[in-house]
Amino acid sequence: MSATLDGQVRRGLGWSAVSSLLLRAGSLVTGIVLARLLAPEDFGVFAVALTVQAVLVTLADLGLSADLVRAEDPERRAPTVATLSLVSGALLTVLMIVTARPVAIALGSEAATPVIVVLACTLVLSGAGVVPYAQLQRRFEQKKLFAVDASAFLVSTAVVVALVLLGVGPMALALSRLVGQVVTTCLQFALARVRPRFGFDRQVAGSALRFGAPLALANMLSWALLNIDNVVVSRSLGVVALGFYVLAFNVSSWPMTAIGQAIRPVTLAAFSRQQDEDPGPGLGRATALTAAVAVPAGALLAVLAGPVVAVLYGERWAPSAAALAGLAAFGALRIVLDVLATFLIARGSVTAVLVLQVVWAVTLVPVMVLATARGGLAAAGWAHLAVALLVVLPGYLVAVRRAGASPWTVLGRLWPPLLAVVPAVLASGLLSARVEHPALALLLGGTVGLAVYALLIGRWALGWARTTPAGTDTSTGTGTADLPAPGPSGTAPVAVPASAAGSS
């Protein structure tokens, strides 16, 4: 990696981290407000609609944004990509509208039909913005991407709060998503300084679809498998239980989404530009610092699930804590899988990612059905963790080896955080269990847990953070380097989604 690219990556990573932290903090506050204004049933109805939209929106992109990010001739490819993505988004919008009612009934909530129709309109808007988004990502312009996301967030938040106060119910969430997508697409074009240009080159279309189609299918399957739990919970336990589950999944996704959003745009571009270098050191460094943050975040969120829900959302949402414990642990593993998926895509191993998503989905369905039937909300969260740990992680390690990196590059970076988090979790859990007041239990348990973990892992993590990228000639400013380490913060991931139900 050249010194210039190294600097671009670091600046991009910094802005990604700032963006992720601020937006997740804003989403947290908004989610708390909405949870106290809306009933669990309203969240359940919206979750049914969002389940459909979340799966189809991955196809609107067709994997074409990633194709542009890694392409050597993006300007020549852009008009064809713009045409393909817009047509794809329009067709999926029509499909979602036409099938809204039967799909809503099949998912156990006919009341979600109009909400599905409104969310369908976001698909064509998402498809229209593929080219400017890819250009911003390719140029590491995370500062501008932050401006886009922040503007859309502020507008959509104002809309949803106003509509909820007017008594619109779950439709308020859908309308705010639609308005936010309009703002996002318009600002992407404005800040990327790209005008809509459409064209069609058969050769470009063929190569773009050969790369993008498997990636789009992998993304769709990835979102589908993380929304299977919504379908199972809705049909087995009802829409109210789904509302509790959606809240739990969103809470479990806070730290994981923050980390993923910070590193994903940067690592895809950085990994893609290291095709002629040994991929092991870069992957190892990314895994090390990602795990150093993700593992304690997931583990402490799991052990403090009860106090977290009680303090932030109130006692009426207490059933969410049962699902949150398992989902938080799963979230920690999910962000590591996200790094591996991004690495494979950058190395061109898109088919391997697709195959892994198929295996994941096929395995998860029966496990989720059985677990939810026997153990309710709590079992649904642990089912996710079991499948990801016992089936998906080994599959990714095999794929990483075939892509040119040793699996031990990954595994060797995971055990220090895992060992350090055990005493941290024990200390946090024992202390919080002795405190009756939820807020005090959360404060003391979280503080002690983080302190114990930092004491045990701090020197190891700082060593990775301060490591001079291998191959950099500091006297001349040239040479090659490892992938700069992802920072401790982080819409849809490349292959492993950040949220099953979305966040408000």
CB burial string 129-165: b at 16+ within 10 A, e below: bbbbbbbbbbebbbbbbbbbbebbbebbbebbbebbe
CB 308 within 8 A of CB 323: no
CA distance linking residue 267 with residue 399, whole number of Å: 18
Shared domain check, 177 and 277: no
More confident residue, 455 or 270: 455
In this prediction, residue 406 has a pLDDT band, given cuts at 50, 70 and 90, of confident
pLDDT of residue 106: 82
Name every residue whose Cβ is closer than 8 Å to that of residue 246 and which is 6 or more positions away in sequence. 43, 44, 46, 47, 230, 501
- DSSP output for 470-501: TTEETTTTEE--PPPPPPS-----SSS-S-SS
| Ranges 6-10, 462-466, 487-491: which has the least confidence | 487-491
Shared domain check, 195 and 303: no
Domain boundary among 162, 178, 200: 200
| Ranges 43-47, 129-133, 462-466: which has the least confidence | 462-466
pLDDT at 479 exceeding the cut of 70:
no
Q: Does 441 reside within a domain?
A: yes
Tell me the percentage of the chain whose pLDDT exceeds 70. Answer: 81
pLDDT at 8 exceeding the cut of 60:
no
More confident residue, 388 or 256: 388
Write out the residue range of the structural domain in which residue 485 sits: 230-497
The alpha carbon of residue 161 and the mean position of all alpha carbons in its chain are separated, in whole angstroms, by: 24
pLDDT of residue 488: 25
CA distance linking residue 62 with residue 213, whole number of Å: 6
pLDDT of residue 475: 34
Domain boundary among 180, 200, 220: 200
More confident residue, 66 or 331: 331
Q: Does 218 reside within a domain?
A: no
In this prediction, residue 486 has a pLDDT band, given cuts at 50, 70 and 90, of very low
Shared domain check, 240 and 375: yes
Shared domain check, 347 and 460: yes
Q: Does 14 reside within a domain?
A: no
Q: Does 275 reside within a domain?
A: yes
Shared domain check, 65 and 109: yes
Q: Does 162 reside within a domain?
A: yes
Integer angstrom CA distances of residue 435 from 325, 449, 488: 19, 15, 29
Phi, then psi, of 85 in degrees rounded to 5: -70, -35
pTM: 0.67
Shared domain check, 238 and 196: no
CA distance linking residue 34 with residue 227, whole number of Å: 22
- How is residue 144 written in tokens? 């501008």
CB 380 within 8 A of CB 371: yes
pLDDT of residue 407: 80
The predicted model gives 14-42 an average pLDDT of 72
pLDDT of residue 222: 67
More confident residue, 26 or 456: 456
The predicted model gives 42-63 an average pLDDT of 76
Average pLDDT, the chain: 79
Q: Which one-letter amino acid corresponds to residue 161?
A: V
pLDDT of residue 449: 92
The predicted model gives 221-246 an average pLDDT of 80
Model pLDDT for residues 494-504, shown as the tens digit of each residue: 333 333 333 33
The predicted model gives 272-298 an average pLDDT of 74
Phi, then psi, of 472 in degrees rounded to 5: -80, 125
pLDDT of residue 445: 93
Shared domain check, 245 and 149: no
Model pLDDT for residues 446-457, shown as the tens digit of each residue: 999 999 998 988
Neighbours of 63 (CB within 10 A): 26
Shared domain check, 239 and 195: no
Shared domain check, 237 and 161: no
The predicted model gives 428-451 an average pLDDT of 92
Shared domain check, 235 and 179: no
Domain boundary among 151, 181, 200: 200
Model pLDDT for residues 160-174, shown as the tens digit of each residue: 889 988 988 888 888
Shared domain check, 88 and 180: yes
Model pLDDT for residues 332-369, shown as the tens digit of each residue: 898 889 888 888 887 778 788 888 888 888 898 899 89
The predicted model gives 303-324 an average pLDDT of 90
| Ranges 145-149, 228-232, 478-482: which has the least confidence | 478-482
pLDDT at 481 exceeding the cut of 50:
no
pLDDT of residue 480: 28
CA distance linking residue 378 with residue 388, whole number of Å: 16
Question: What DSSP state is assigned to residue 388?
Answer: I
pLDDT of residue 491: 31
More confident residue, 403 or 482: 403
Shared domain check, 334 and 470: yes
Q: Does 7 reside within a domain?
A: no
CB 247 within 8 A of CB 5: no
pLDDT of residue 392: 94
If one counts the domains in the chain, the total is: 2
Q: Does 376 reside within a domain?
A: yes
Integer angstrom CA distances of residue 410 from 277, 333, 339, 354, 401: 17, 12, 10, 20, 10
- How is residue 155 written in tokens? 């507008």
Q: Does 24 reside within a domain?
A: no
